[in-house]
Amino acid sequence: MGPKVKQLRDVTLIEMAEGPLLVVACDSLGAIGPKENDLVKVSGYVVGRLTSRGSLLEVMTTGARPLVVINALAVEMIPTGEEIIAGIKDEVAQAGLERDLVITGSTEENIPTKETGLGMTVIGTVTKENLRVGSARSGQLIACIGLPKVGSEVSLDDPETVDLPLLKHLLELEYVSDIIPVGSKGIGYEAGILAATAGLEVAFETDLDLDKSAGPATCLLISLWPERFEELVRSVGKPVAAVGRLIGG
């Protein structure tokens, strides 16, 4: 019997005949970077850091450990590609994965490019027992950590946005169950996805903008029991807001 493949949230799960599950996440970027026709001007280094962060967050929030980062760069290697790859390497190092993770990819060396573009894929593994997707429970609270930001609002090391060290901390908190990054579709959409994977619904109760894009996953949603909410606030050192309650089931 061949592998079983299914889409779950923004990741693809591949169940092999033996061994752990493969978890695959993809992201893309266009017109953001240092090139002539880019609409949002940032360095290639920032492009590498933030684009790889989004895909790494997608994989790691499932409970998986990333093994491979694949960057398909629609730019030349020198200088733009080198800058982007340097950013990817530093983002991987932030997650403490540099020793046993492979970074590979390709660049455009045939045609001169005037606009930055790239695709990012991260592949990781997780055992069925450690898969966190769908672990939320009825009665739990959905909380948002960080603020949704997009385009020119996004910067490295912004104290109002999430990063990989924060995610590693959340994964170690025994009272946090499911975790999901928020991307371009906004908090409301991702809260609905978090609930649906557990067979639940969300009763929203928040002042947050539920539709605003969070760009390269500048915030995360988590599920936890309401009585642990203040403990979470004290623990993370980032903006934290309640989004709503999980109901049904």
Scanning the structure block, which residue is given the tokens 């557990």? 198
Task: Kindly state the tokens that stand for 152.
Answer: 């020119």
Identify the structural domains of the chain with CATH numbers, from first to last. Answer: 4-130 (3.30.1330.10), 141-247 (3.90.650.10)
Q: Are 10 and 22 in contact (CB under 8 A)?
A: no
pTM for the model stands at 0.92
Q: Give dist(CA 131, CA 129) in Å, integer.
A: 6
Amino acid at 91: E
Contact at 8 Å (CB) between 195 and 243?
A: no
Contact, 143 vs 242, CB < 8 A? yes
pLDDT of residue 157: 83
Model pLDDT, residue 234: 95
Which are the contacts of 18, defined by CB distance < 8 A and separation ≥ 6?
none
Q: What is the pLDDT of residue 10?
A: 87
201: Cα within 13 Å, side-chain hemisphere: 3
Residue 247: which H helix or E strand, with range? strand 240-247
Cα(195)–Cα(178) distance, integer angstroms: 9
Measured CA distances, 74 to 5, 36, 120, 154 (Å): 28, 14, 11, 22
Report residue 186 as tokens. 């906004």
pLDDT of residue 1: 62
Which helix (H) or strand (E) segment holds residue 104: the answer is strand 102-106
Residue by residue, pLDDT tens for the chain (249 residues) are 678 999 988 899 999 888 899 999 999 999 999 999 999 999 999 999 999 999 999 999 999 999 999 999 999 999 999 999 999 999 999 888 888 899 999 999 999 999 999 999 999 999 999 999 999 999 999 999 999 999 889 888 899 999 999 999 999 999 999 999 998 999 999 999 999 999 999 999 999 999 999 988 999 999 999 999 999 999 999 999 999 999 996
Contact by Cβ (8 Å): 244, 192: no
CB 64 within 8 A of CB 23: yes
- For residues 226 and 217, what is the distance between their CA atoms, to the nearest angstrom? 24
Backbone angles phi, psi at 92, to 5 degrees: -60, -40
Q: How many CB atoms lie within 10 A of CB 22?
A: 20
